[in-house]
Amino acid sequence: MKIRIISAVIALAVIIPLIIIGGIPFACACGILAALGFKEIIDLKKSHQPYPNVVKVLGMFSLIYLILINYQRSIMTYNAILVPLVLILLPTIFYKKDQYKTNDALFLLGSIYLIGLFFNLLITIRNVNVNVLIYLLSISILTDTFAYAVGMLIGKHKITKISPNKSWEGFFAGLIGGSICGMIVYASLVAKLDIKIALVTILLSIVGQLGDLFYSKVKRENEIKDFSNIMPGHGGILDRIDSLSFIVFVYIILLWSI
């Protein structure tokens, strides 16, 4: 627990100033974190065959291109979406069957879109309204904190075998604590709170915990505890963006829908 807290404090001490500064420093930080997350995907042993070095380079280029190509704009371009599609799929025709298979290419492409679109949207949200980004981060962090703390203390009823440490007690504690704190942050930094935002905040807290379970399923399928040990007590980059990524995705969907 002590290591987990220290690691979290250090991470926040680095991330918060970058969020406040924004611009190129924040975009570069997102690119670095995405590259580290991409390496964690490449290092998975069960989800795919080892990728050829050329494919790894093309994958890394596609990821960074997807993230940074429009870091000063608020609208995703078609080029940003199509470049990874071409660079990752076409090389399959030049390799022997077992060297680079189409299903491995599709897994890599999906991973690039999952990580790349998340960090691209993170930069876009920061450029449009930094307070909205803080609001979304607060939902993710505080939902996870309440769920972890209560689950450790009184969690007895397990949610799923995918992640045995997660309990219904922790789930509802995270939902209540994360939602209330998220609403307070929204009302304090973004705008006046209304019933629509309250419901959105509750939904995002739920979605964040489901995103956590999705990444837990990936780890379970690959028989690993964490994606890496870059953050002692927390795991890797993908272990930290699990809930936030789905919160961001659903927030953008809702933003365009309501």
Cα–Cα distance for residue pair 170/201, rounded to 1 Å: 18
Q: Is residue 137 domain-shared with residue 222, that is, in the same domain?
A: yes
Same domain, 220 and 230: yes
R_g over Cα of the chain: 19
Residues 141 and 176 in one domain: yes
What is the pLDDT at residue 197? 95
pLDDT, residue 4, reads 67
In the chain, which residues have pLDDT < 70?
1-2, 4, 71-76, 258
**Six token digits for residue 95:** 């390799």
Indicate if 57 and 113 belong to the same structural domain.
Answer: yes
* Mean pLDDT of all residues belonging to the chain: 90
Are 178 and 228 in the same domain?
yes
Are 117 and 232 in a shared domain? Answer: no
Candidates 67, 217, 185; CA nearest to 227 is 217
Q: For residue 198, with 0-12 CB atoms within 10 Å meaning exposed, 13-18 middle and 19 or more buried, which class applies?
A: middle
Are the CB atoms for 222 and 44 separated by under 8 Å?
yes
Asked whether residue 75 falls in the same domain as residue 124, the answer is: yes
The whole-number pLDDT of residue 75 equals 64
- What is the structure's pLDDT at 1? 60
Give 219-234 pLDDT, tens digit per residue. Answer: 999 999 889 888 877 7
User: Is there a single domain that holds both residue 105 and residue 190?
Assistant: no
Among 128, 146, 172, the domain boundary falls at 128
pTM above 0.85, yes or no: yes
For residues 107 and 119, state if they share a domain: yes
Q: Tell me how many degrees the CA angle 233-142-138 measures, rounded to the nearest 5.
A: 115
pLDDT score recorded for residue 232: 78
pLDDT (tens digit, 9 = 90+) per residue, 173-200?
999 999 999 999 999 999 999 999 999 9
DSSP 8-state code for residue 94 = G
Pair (149, 227) in one structural domain:
yes
The SS3 assignment for 255 reads helix
Per DSSP, the three-state class of 156 is coil
Domain coverage including residue 43: 1-128
Give the end of a domain, one of 92, 112, 128. 128
Question: Six-digit token pair at 74?
Answer: 């608020």
Q: Are residues 254 and 233 in the same domain?
A: yes
The residue to which tokens 């691209």 are assigned: 120
The answer to whether 128 touches 179, Cβ cutoff 8 Å, is: no
Of 128, 155, 173, which closes a domain? 128
- pLDDT score recorded for residue 174: 95
Length of the chain: 258
C-beta separation of 83 from 75 below 8 A: no
Specify the number of domains making up the chain. 2
User: How far is residue 97's CA from residue 89's CA, in Å, rounded to a whole number?
Assistant: 14
Could you tell me if 121 and 149 lie in one domain?
Answer: no
Q: What is the pLDDT, as a whole number, of residue 152? A: 84
